[in-house]
Structure 1
Amino acid sequence: MNADHFIQRRTALGMLGALTAGSALAQGSAAPQPVRIGYQKSSTLIAVLRLQGTLERAFAPLGLKPTWHEFTSGLPLLEALNLDNVDVSADVADTVPVFAQAVGAQLTFLAQEAPSPAAQAIVVRSDSPLRTVADLRGKRVGFAKAAGVHYLLLAALAKAGLGFKDIEPAYLTPADGRAAFERGAIDAWVVWDPFLSAAQIQSGARVLADGTGLASYQRYYLASTRFARARPEALSVLYAELEKTGRWVKAQPKEAAALLAPFWGLDAAVVEQANGRRSYAVRAVTRERLGEQQRIADAFLAEKLLPRRVDALDVDLFKPGAAS
């Protein structure tokens, strides 16, 4: 091989290498776009999807990747959604969208979990003299504002012939509520699973009333309307994975509890009991299934806890699969 031929060959190989490197850089520059998912400790299905890496795999063909953002309860989560700090909200209690609607939040309902009324309850300590909801008159009751337990408390008080003004409310996050409950700073605590199961199993909490016959406790998954319109294919993928995960959690209770227990910092027995009381039956949201939402909104308005009347049917609904 003469010198000129050698130089030509090296030049050609160099050009090929440069083209290959340039192509790789071009591909690498198309970094996946984040889908910001807000969740809370009771967001079981989202926790499973995160721990199993399901959404990373499912979103990858769409050029998307999930990022995870934890909140203490549903109200701050939907406030973040309304402020465009997250794109998607994991499940929140049925009461929370009502408060978001009252301030004009632009939200789209993605999915709904079928009722789980026993997954939230009013509890007292094992040595408490309180035996019925009527005994709460004049007592200090702790709960998270705007959470599903807030409506459960209103409904239980009304059934007992009491009003919200007949108790002393203490608005507390679940963590603060547990601490106040255990040291006796509140007389009763209204809380949802898995915190409810933890209080029962670890602290011997006694149930005065759960949601049975009072509040069906349907949990909702939502997206900002901006994101729902921009990336409907992402919501279709998320909906499908939520459905599958809900079925898996119910079919494999011990495996699901073992997966979630270290993530939540709870005993597997607590997680298994909590999961046993949740339906995890993910379904599409229809206007026919929003009936209780109006009763919730009207109950909060009557107690002057909402700034204006809310029309529970005046919402955007996502149709799963429409953009698949």
Structure 2
Amino acid sequence: MVTRRQTLGLIGAATAAMILPVGRTANAAASTIRIGWQKFGILAIAKQQGVLEKRLASRGISVEWSEFSSGPPLLEALGSNALDFGPTGDVPPLFAQAAGGNLLYVGTYKPPAAFHGILVHKDAPIQKIEDLKGKKVAYKRGSSAHNFAFKALASVGLMPDDIEGVDLPPQDAGAAFKSGSIDAWAIWDPFFAVAEADPEARLLVTSENIVEAWGYFLGNGDFVPANPDVITDILDELAKLGAEAQKDIDGTAKQLAEITGVKEEITKVTLTRAGADLGKVALVSDDAVKYQQALADDFHALKVLPRQLTVSDIVWRPKES
């Protein structure tokens, strides 16, 4: 069974109260970019290797990093001008936009198809998704796992009200799962891979063939238009780094393990899931916007989002040079 100690090891200092830099003056050219990161993906490798610091040095820009356990608090910081750039799953930007956060979609990445999983206890009578009816299922509200949990239920004709949803961040969900106070846990990598490896946990279903895999890079709404070349430099560097990292999964697993504290063999599991490709970093495509809009519409129809959103309103389109 995944322990609270193990899960806290993933979160690290991110669970503590964070002292973030105050917001800078709107539309001012930057001398520093403040980046939020999570313990997965190409941005974590970029932090480990220092490639963004090297790329931006010629512009006289330094990099400050702040770690987050999930997308919702990262975007809260970004939308309130305490961060300039960061990655997240599909759902957090919807909640941030609905709350009036000052942010823009600036790029995309493609996580593995099986980036999420629903875990149950080894000896639980739950054998299929339908068996979750009436059960306590934990997921972080406003995270990509929120979408996965709902889509998994919908795939067998269940509605969100058919379960008892429990809103817990990863560290608390891990402890609740260990204690048996929840029946199932919808979670993303690397937390998913750590818990999946525990002999006391059993995988019920992954997100493959249930949720389309989209991840996003977002920027602060003042920082991005004032510093467009910085954003394009970052996305370009991440794409190059990702392509190289994908050529050497063993080496990449070692590098990620060093910065995240997740065991190398567990990290390798996350990097070799179906569809994994760290090099798929790009500007926001029409397909990505279409996906987000459909998701926003679904969540509004389910009364999860308080208002109808137009996702394209906050999508950044760099001007042709």
What is the letter of the counterpart of residue 205 of structure 1?
A
Q: Distance in 1 between matches of 2:209 and 2:313?
A: 26
- Aligned-pair distance for 1:104? 2.3
TM-score for the superposition, normalised by structure 1 = 0.85
Whether contact under 8 Å (1:154, 1:299) holds in the other structure is no
Q: Which residue of the other structure, out of 160, 176, 194, is the alignment partner of 2:190?
A: 194
Give, in whole Å, the separation in 1 of the partners of 2:199 and 2:34: 35
Instruction: Say whether the 8 Å CA contact 2:257–2:267 is kept in structure 1.
Output: yes
Q: Deviations over 1:247-269 (max 9, x none)?
A: 12221111111111132121101
Q: 1:110 to 1:53 in 2, by over 3 A?
A: same
Map of 2:33 onto structure 1? 35
Once residues 285 and 314 of structure 2 are traced to their aligned partners in structure 1, the CA distance between those partners, rounded to angstroms, is 10
**Which of residues 119, 125, 128 in structure 2 aligns to 1:129?**
125
Q: Distance in 1 between matches of 2:171 and 2:258?
A: 17
- Alignment match, 2:289: 290
Give the length in aligned residue pairs. Answer: 289
In structure 2, do the counterparts of structure 1 residues 117 and 204 end up closer, same or farther at CA, with 3 Å as the change threshold?
farther
Which entry has the higher C-alpha Rg, 1 or 2? 1
Q: Which residue of 75, 79, 98 corresponds with 2:76? A: 79
Question: Alignment partner for residue 213 of structure 2, among 217, 221, 235?
Answer: 217
Partner of 1:266: 262
Provide the residue aligned with 1:49 in structure 2. 46
Tell whether the 8 Å contact from 1:109 to 1:318 is kept in structure 2 after alignment: no
Maintained 8 Å contact 2:148/2:210: yes
State the partner residue of 1:97.
93
Q: Residue 108 of structure 1 is aligned with which of 82, 100, 104?
A: 104
Question: Which TM-score applies when normalising by structure 2?
Answer: 0.85
Partner of 1:313, secondary structure, is helix
Structure 1 residues 139-158: Cα deviation after superposition (integer angstroms, max 9, x where no partner): 11111111111111111111
Q: Which runs of 4+ in 1 moved over 4 A?
A: none
Identity %: 34
**Which amino acid counterpart does residue 193 of structure 1 have in structure 2?**
D
Structure ranking higher in helix proportion: 1
Return 5+ residue gaps in structure 2 as ranges.
1-29
CA deviations over 1:228-284 (Å, ceiling 9, x no partner): 111111111101111012112221111111111132121101101112223321122
- Judged with a 3 Å threshold, the aligned counterparts in structure 2 of structure 1 residues 202 and 262 are, in CA distance, closer, same or farther, namely farther
- RMSD of Structure 2 on Structure 1 (CA): 1.7
